[in-house]
Chain A
């Protein structure tokens, strides 16, 4: 049993790597979102030729500037989608870790009894705790991934219809990651 718990520890280490990668991606995504939303905010101002002041002396400056801004907005949106894809990969990896863990317990030749599953050795957690922890990790990141996808979708929609959308609230939602517990919660999960 103890050997199996050690194997689970390795799995948690792997999950921790995935999650630190997640944090990197998160800050990346937030800065991408900020850039995109500041461009979207500007678009309205840029559409009024009165705002161009002396630049109006240059032919077509408004169209050129608008198309350049939209071009960079598109680039940002594309790279955000790529970032989202990486988030998805992390979710898949967490799912696999959990599946492997379950396989380890239930698919092996020596199927442990219920009692063994809940047995604790010293300060180490029981096998059930380990499995539940892995499942929870996958669950929260999966939900958060779905939330991020819809936020990005809302951002793309806002790009088409700049007025009446609250990008600030969306940004706050993106930063808060409501599905993922705060740092202390995570520490508890990794207590093993």
Chain B
């Protein structure tokens, strides 16, 4: 790409002006623009004007000839300071030293309380920030999932209760003129079993029972989903730390709930990750949040048992009680949530700072409508989840991370 005509030499001049501009732009990147550096470039340019190979600049400003005197602006472009031409060595040093000090200053200030070296923290902090920016929104989305699953579960439970009640009171119910029609119940049941439970009013035979069965399994599925959500929440709340893998200088970082290296606590020595909160403070907030859902899950388990029991034949041997596993693998999930102990089974439901006494527990298969109403209300109210506090936690963390989690 060598210029061959007078026209191209004019072009060349334009490029030189352009290059001059580039230096002015690139200089702040390297650090504070040093007067003598700029002066040097001017000198170089004026000196170089007749040199035709400068047109290389047009092709690729970065992949320039190392020996060319203009290699400094190549460094301005790609920011690397390892490239050194013999001519520019002294200039390189002066140009790059301010950038180093200005980069490390704020970190030095923040890391005064940490036992770790500033260079280590410089690696750790961005990785830890990225990790937290990933984990918190996950918690927020699990919370959304919980809300939708819980409301699904509530509608299943309501349908179950309604179906049961209408079935229970059916024998005393006047069907009026409808009772004269042959097979009316059978037909209605056949049709309604494919439709909403709402119409189960007219259904008293076997079809009804099977629909109760379907509703039971739906409710159980909702419960299972809730267990999975809480389990995910807990895993997320345990993955807030950020560990160094292997040697301290290795750029590889890992996020996990435990570290292979005992000396690495994964919290950067307790320094604030963003502006105020350390890793353990983040963990405390997440734990407070998770605890609400954990307690609520326990309460929901009791309610699910209650709803599964209603209308259940008493003669059956498989009487439900608290220590039954409701679905295959439930106890594994519960023990992951710290809600199951091998000695005493699933932990009993309780309120925060409260106790419970499961000894006298006896599941009634024909509870009063009032009792059922209280159960449904309890499902809806989610007494363990303090919405105000939960929003507060998300707001605090979001402010800390300068992002909105919602």
Contacts and interface: CB of A to CB of B under 8 A. Distances in A.
A60 B349 CA distance: 12
A57 B381 contact: no
A164 B352 CA distance: 36
A168 B383 CA distance: 28
Given A55-B302, A68-B381, A46 B351 contact: no
Interface string A39-79: 00010011010011111011111001100110010000000
A53 B369 CA distance: 11
Contact of A65 (B356, B371, B383): B383
A60 B353 CA distance: 10
A54 B374 contact: no
A42 B361 contact: no
Nearest to B383: A64
B158 to A, nearest CB: 12
B348 A53 contact: no
B349 A46 contact: no
B231 to A, nearest CB: 23
A65 B367 contact: no
A38 to B, nearest CB: 10
B351 A64 contact: yes
A52 B363 CA distance: 12
A69 B381 contact: yes
A46 B374 contact: yes
Nearest to B352: A64
A45 B377 CA distance: 10
A46 B370 CA distance: 9
A52 B356 contact: no
Contacts of A52: 371, 374
Nearest to A42: B377
Contacts, number: 70
B187 interface: no
Contacts of B362: 54
Contact of B368 (A51, A54, A59): A51
Given A58-B356, A59-B354, A51 B371 contact: yes
A69 B349 CA distance: 20
B134 to A, nearest CB: 33
B374 A58 contact: no
B375 A58 contact: no
Contacts of B373: 42, 45, 51
Contacts of A65: 374, 377-378, 381, 383
A156 B362 CA distance: 39
Contacts of A72: 381
A65 B354 CA distance: 14
B39 interface: no
B360 to A, nearest CB: 7
Interface of B: 299, 302, 306, 348-351, 354-358, 360-364, 367-368, 370-371, 373-375, 377-378, 381-383
By Cβ-Cβ distance, the 8 closest A-B pairs, closest first, are A53-B371, A59-B354, A64-B383, A51-B370, A68-B381, A58-B356, A51-B374, A59-B355
Interface of A: 42, 45-46, 48, 51-55, 57-61, 64-65, 68-69, 72
Given A57-B358, A58-B350, 5 more contacts: A42-B373, A57-B357, A59-B350, A59-B354, A64-B383
30 contacts: A45-B370, A45-B373, A46-B374, A51-B368, A51-B370, A51-B373, A51-B374, A53-B364, A53-B367, A54-B361, A54-B362, A55-B302, A55-B378, A57-B348, A57-B349, A57-B356, A57-B361, A58-B349, A58-B350, A58-B356, A59-B351, A59-B354, A59-B355, A59-B356, A60-B354, A65-B374, A65-B378, A65-B381, A68-B382, A69-B377
